[in-house]
Amino acid sequence: MVNGPKLAVEGISCVFDGTPALNEVDLTLGRGQFVSIVGPSGCGKSTLFNIVSGLIQPTSGRVLLDGQEVTGETGHVGYMLQKDLLVPWRTVIGNIVLGAALTRGTTRADKQEAARLAARYGLGDFLNHYPHALSGGMRQRVALMRTLALRADVLLLDEPFGALDSQTRLDMQMWLLSVCQDLNMTILFVTHDVDEAIFLSDRVAVMTGRPGSIAATIEVDLPRPRGIDTLTTAEFTELKRRALGLLHRPATTSAPAEQGSMP
């Protein structure tokens, strides 16, 4: 199955209390690919995430990892949210090894590995700090290190930088790009920031809501490594124009419906 897709989502539909949340979502990620999902809030992005991570059983459809069906099973992918969810009583090192602590108990080797990861990605001076003593950007780095330490090669990142100021966010995006480049991770990334999606991804899937489905995908063929200069190229602007067009075209027609379905 080495040549098949790393992660495949096939015909996923999900209905909550009679209300369809997702409708026939298909998505494939090749090994080492970075794919972003953009869409308005409430379009079912997070539901899709919870299905891929195994937290929710879809009404129909399958999730395949390396060709193996893992629908409804947890423990296969790394998962990170906008909230860093660091445990306040554990130090940076302690938080990075949380996955091991929760499954089999931590060893000195786990901590050593965590310290290596931390040092390599700019947290070397903070190994013994408690989370409350760190800035928001730092905390998100720790959260990503914790996700990486799980040794899952597929990561689901749900608006991980959504709570950061734009300066820090750009720093974190470039940092994430360098981490991905290093570790050849397969990443599914959710955001509502079109710039972020294009800057990071190989492919951007535009989702529309109620029920959530993928309206279109845009291939991002900007050369890597990408830097700040990438953000101002003509190619970038053209991709952004297309993405925004796709995002806002359905919004004009479905806006009244969206209001009508407010709880």
Partner 1 sequence: MRGRGRILVWIERLGLAAAGIGLIFGLWNLVIVIFGLQPFVLPTPQSAVSAIVDNWSALGTLTWQTVKETVDGFVLGAVVGFVLAVVMSLFRPVQRLIYPALITSQAVPIVAIAAPLVILLGFGMLPKLIIVAWIVFFPVVVNVLDGLAHIDDDLIRLAKVMGAHRAREFLQIRLPATLSPLFSGLKIGATYAVTGAVIGEWTASSQQGLGTYLLTANSSLDVQAVFGVTLLLTAIGVLSFLFVMGVEAFATPWRTRSTSRRRFVP
List of residues contacting partner 1 (CB under 8 A): 50, 53-55, 74-75, 77, 79, 81, 83, 85, 87-89, 91, 93-94, 98-99, 101-103, 105, 111-112, 115-116, 119, 127-133, 150
Our CA dihedral for 71, 77, 81, 84, rounded to 10 degrees, sits at 140
| Residue carrying structure tokens 């470039």 | 174
Instruction: Find the shortest distance in angstroms from Cβ 134 to partner 1.
Output: 9
**CA–CA dist 22, 43 (Å, integer):** 8
Q: How far is the CB of 92 from partner 1 (least distance, A)?
A: 9
With respect to partner 1, which residue has the nearer C-beta, 53 or 173?
53
Return d(Cα 208, Cα 211) in angstroms, integer. 8
Q: Which is nearer to partner 1, 119 or 183 (CB)?
A: 119
Instruction: CB nearer to partner 1: give 13 or 95.
Output: 95
Helix, strand or coil for residue 38?
strand
Minimum CB distance to partner 1, residue 228 (Å): 32
Closer residue to partner 1, CB minimum distance, 128 or 166: 128
Min separation Cβ 114 and partner 1, Å: 9
Q: Give least dist CB 261 to partner 1, A.
A: 24
Is the C-alpha dihedral spanning 107, 111, 92, 183 positive or negative?
negative
Which C-beta is closer to partner 1: that of 91 or that of 213?
91
The Cα–Cα gap between 31 and 27 comes to 13
| Closest of 8, 49, 78, 22 to residue 208, by C-alpha | 22
